[in-house]
Amino acid sequence: MSELKNDRYLRALLGESVDVTPVWMMRQAGRYLPEYKATRAQAGDFMSLCRNTELACEVTLQPLRRFPLDAAILFSDILTIPDAMGLGLYFAQGEGPKFERPLRSAKQVRDLGIPDPELELSYVTDAVRMIRRELKGEVPLIGFSGSPWTLATYMVEGGATKSFSEIKKMGFSDAPTLHLLLDKLADSVISYLNAQVEAGAQSLMIFDTWGGVLSPHDYQDFSLQYMQKIVSGLKREYDGRKIPVTLFTKNGGQWLEKIAATGCDALGVDWTTDIGEARRRVGDKVALQGNMDPSMLYASPAAIKAEVQRILASYGHGNGHVFNLGHGIHPDVDPEHAGVFINAVHEFSGQYHV
C-alpha cells in the first residue's frame, strides 16, 4: 500500500502533532454536490449507487476534487448489514429507508445469520479496494458502520421513527431478544469493519445515531456495551500502521467519559456539547472530532469563519482535534459555503499547533 502524502487526520486521532487541524465532513459525498446528484441519477437509486463499485468510488472522490479535505470516507450506508441479513431494505420516496420484514419476534431474531462481508457485502469491500487505489495515497480512507443499537432501531421499527416505541417495547418487555439481536449485530459489525480494514480502510468510525434517545442506564445496557465489544474485536493495527477507531453517539455529550473508557481512539462530539468542555472532561485520553452545527453553513462566509475560530479557540492549543460538523452536512447547503468552512479550519488552526 502506498505511503500517505497527507496523514494529519490519522496523526490527530492518535494524539500526535500536526501542522494544522485536519478537517472532513460527515456526508461530504452527498446531495449538496451537483456532481453527486448527476451520478446518483446515473445509478438509478441510492442502493444501486452503493452497490456499483465504480460509482461508489466516484462519489467518494468527488468532494476531494473540490475541497482540500484531510480524509475520504467510504460512500455507503449504515443499513448495509441489516440489508445483508435479508430484511428487504428499500427507500421510499421522501420517507427514507424502510424494511419489508421488520423484526418483531424472538424467532425472527434467532433465525438471523451473520453476513459474510466478502460474500453478501462484497460490494462494500470492493469499493474500499478501488477507492484506496484511486486515492493514490493523497489522504486516508475512513471505513464505517452503524452501531448495533442504531441498526436495531431500523430493523425493529421497520424504518425511521420519532418515538422508538417498537424497539423500546422489545427492550423493556423482552430484553433477552433485543440483547440477542444486539449481540449478533456487534459480531456482524466486527467482521464487517475488519474486512474493510483488510480491503484498505485506514481508520474506522461507528455511528451511534440514535444512542441519545436512551436513558443513561439504557444507553449503557443497549448501546455502549455493544460498542465496547466492537472496539475490543477490531483490528487496531494493519499493514504496519495503527487503525484509529472513532465512536460517535449523537446527543451523547453527557456520556463522554464512559465512551472514552471503551478503549476507542477518538470521540465524535455534536454541537450540543462545547468542545472545550469535552476536552476538559476527557483530557488526553482520546482525540475529539467535531463539532460545528451543520446549519452554520447556511450563514454568511464571515459568520462561518467566525464560528470556526470560536470552536478552535474553545478546543485550544495542542493536538487531538479533528474538525468536523456535529452531524451530516444538509442537502441544501451551498457547496461554496462548505469550501469556506474547510479553508477556514486550515487557515486559522496553525496558531494552535505551534
Query: Tens digit of pLDDT for each residue in 165-181?
Result: 999 999 999 999 999 99
> Does residue 311 fall inside a structural domain?
no
pLDDT at 183 exceeding the cut of 70 = yes
Binding residues, by number, are: 27-31, 77, 154, 209, 327
| Continuous segment of H or E residues that includes residue 322 | strand 321-322
* Mean pLDDT (whole number) for 248-256: 98
Per DSSP, 277 falls in state H
- The answer to whether 278 and 288 have CB atoms below 8 angstroms apart is yes
| Closest CA relative to residue 264, chosen from 254, 273, 274, 256 | 256
CA distance 322 to 246: 11
CB-side neighbour CA atoms (13 Å) of 113: 8
Residue 199 resides in a domain: yes
Residue 95: predicted pLDDT: 79
Residue 263 counted as domain residue:
yes
**62 to each of 29, 48, 65, how far by Cα in Å?**
7, 18, 5
The pTM is what?
A: 0.98
Say what percent of the chain tops pLDDT 70. 99
The domain that contains 121 carries what CATH number?
3.20.20.210
How high is the pLDDT of residue 80? 97
Average pLDDT, integer, range 203-208:
98
CB 32 within 8 A of CB 63: no
Report the pLDDT value the prediction gives residue 75, as an integer from 0 to 100: 98
Query: Are 215 and 149 contacting, i.e. CB atoms less than 8 angstroms apart?
Result: no
Within a domain: 272: yes
The whole-number pLDDT of residue 94 equals 77
**Mean pLDDT of all residues in 254-268:** 98
pLDDT at 299 over 80: yes
Res 2 pLDDT > 90: no
pLDDT digits (tens, 9 = 90+) for 109-140: 999 999 999 999 999 999 999 999 999 999 99
Residues identified as active-site: 27, 31, 40, 77, 154
The amino acid that residue 176 corresponds to is P
Furthest-apart CA pair in the chain: how many Å? 59
Mean pLDDT score, 219-229:
98
State yes or no: cis peptide before 291, omega within 30 of 0.
yes
Annotated binding residues for substrate: 27-31, 77, 154, 209, 327
Residues 6+ apart with CB under 8 A from 265: 13, 14, 244, 245, 246, 286, 287
Residue 13 lies in a domain: no
In angstroms, the CA 228 to CA 243 distance is: 16
**CA 272 to chain centroid:** 18
Is 207 inside a domain boundary? Answer: yes
DSSP output for 3-32: PPS--HHHHHHTT---SS--B--TT-SSTT
* Pairwise CA distance, residues 314 & 275, whole Å: 6
Q: Over the chain, what is the mean pLDDT?
A: 97
Distance of alpha carbon 239 from alpha carbon 194, whole angstroms: 13
Statement: residue 327 has pLDDT above 60: yes
* Average pLDDT over every residue of 203-210: 98
- At 1 the pLDDT is 38
Query: Residue 49 has what pLDDT?
Result: 96
Domain span including residue 61: 29-291
Q: What average pLDDT score do residues 187-198 get?
A: 98
For the chain, how many residues are written?
354
CA atoms within 13 A on the CB side of 195: 21
C-alpha cell at 147: 452501531
| 270-297 pLDDT, tens digit each | 999 999 999 999 999 999 999 999 999 9
Q: Is 71 part of a structural domain of the chain?
A: yes
Query: What is the pLDDT, as a whole number, of residue 20?
Result: 98
Does residue 326 fall inside a structural domain?
Answer: no
| Tally of structural domains, the chain | 1
The DSSP letter of residue 265 is S
Could you give the CA distance from residue 346 to residue 115 in angstroms, rounded to a whole number?
41
Res. 93 pLDDT band, cuts 50 70 90: confident
